[in-house]
Amino acid sequence: MPPETSGPVFTLHVGTDPDAEVVRLRLTDEHGRQLGSNQVRLAEHKAALWQGLFDTRAFVRTYADSIVFTDRPATATELLDQIGVFLGEKVLGPEILKALHKDIYHRSLRIYQPDASKNRLAAAFARVPWEIARPAGQAALFERNLVVRMETAPDAASAWRRLRRLRTRRCGCSWSTPRRPARAISPCGWSGSSFSISSITR
């Protein structure tokens, strides 16, 4: 577990829509004030970039010293920089990246996202190395003393169960949990692409 920091705490709220293949991100400060937001459609970016983001180690191991992305053999450092710039400028977006990158003192970033077991897109984003995000030609977030930690957003049923237990302890009442219709979650993949999220989340 990353060490606790004494500086400001930011929260990145990650919302995933596997059916639309869209991710929505929102950054707030420790007082809940919004500092930036971004929406990303997976189909608008090359599949190889998503592969590098969701399985960075395998991506670097596969493409280091190759000329797939450059006109000369790419080093592991260059590949990491490329994925970091994609993560920072395209996924986080300019507003969020600016807010996280502008300071150098110790800060922490909580990644608050859906339970990875709920859909494959959430599972893929649980693998993202957020700390390597960077503007082009500049230092990565981890090099600017930003510590990242992951948290899972509670679903409505879990929140209701906690509220029911609390009310029961306070007044001795009994509460029933409202039933929700079951919702089928289909695997998320890209049409017309040989790369799919399902292929890396098995």
pLDDT of residue 65: 87
Instruction: Count the residues in the chain.
Output: 202
200 band by pLDDT with thresholds 50, 70 and 90? very low
CA distances (Å), 8 to each of 11, 110, 144, in order?
Answer: 10, 11, 13
pLDDT at site 116:
83
Q: What secondary structure letter does DSSP report for 95?
A: H
| Torsional class of 172: left (φ above 0), alpha (ψ -120 to 50), beta (otherwise) | left
Model pLDDT, residue 103: 87
pLDDT, tens only, 14-38: 999 999 999 999 999 999 999 999 9
| Mean pLDDT value across the chain | 79
Q: Rounded to whole angstroms, how far apart are CA atoms 59 and 4?
A: 30
pLDDT in tens, 134-156: 999 999 999 999 999 988 765 54
Instruction: Pick the more confident residue, 12 or 178.
Output: 12
**Close Cβ partners of 159 (under 8 Å, ≥ 6 residues apart):** none
Distances (CA, A) of 10 to 26, 143, 148, 150: 10, 17, 9, 12
Q: State mean pLDDT over 34-49.
A: 95
Give residue-wise pLDDT tens across range 108-126. 999 988 888 878 999 999 9
Closest CA to 89 of 121, 144, 142, 137: 137
Work out the average pLDDT over 36-51.
Answer: 95
Query: Residue 100 pLDDT more than 80?
Result: yes
Query: What's the mean pLDDT in 126-138?
Result: 95
For 152-172, write each residue's pLDDT tens digit. Answer: 765 544 444 444 554 454 444
User: What pLDDT digit, counting tens, does each position of 59-82 carry?
Assistant: 999 888 887 777 788 899 999 999
CA nearest 143: which of 104, 174, 189, 108?
Answer: 104
Residue, of 133 and 165, whose pLDDT is higher: 133
Is residue 185 scored above 70 in pLDDT? Answer: no
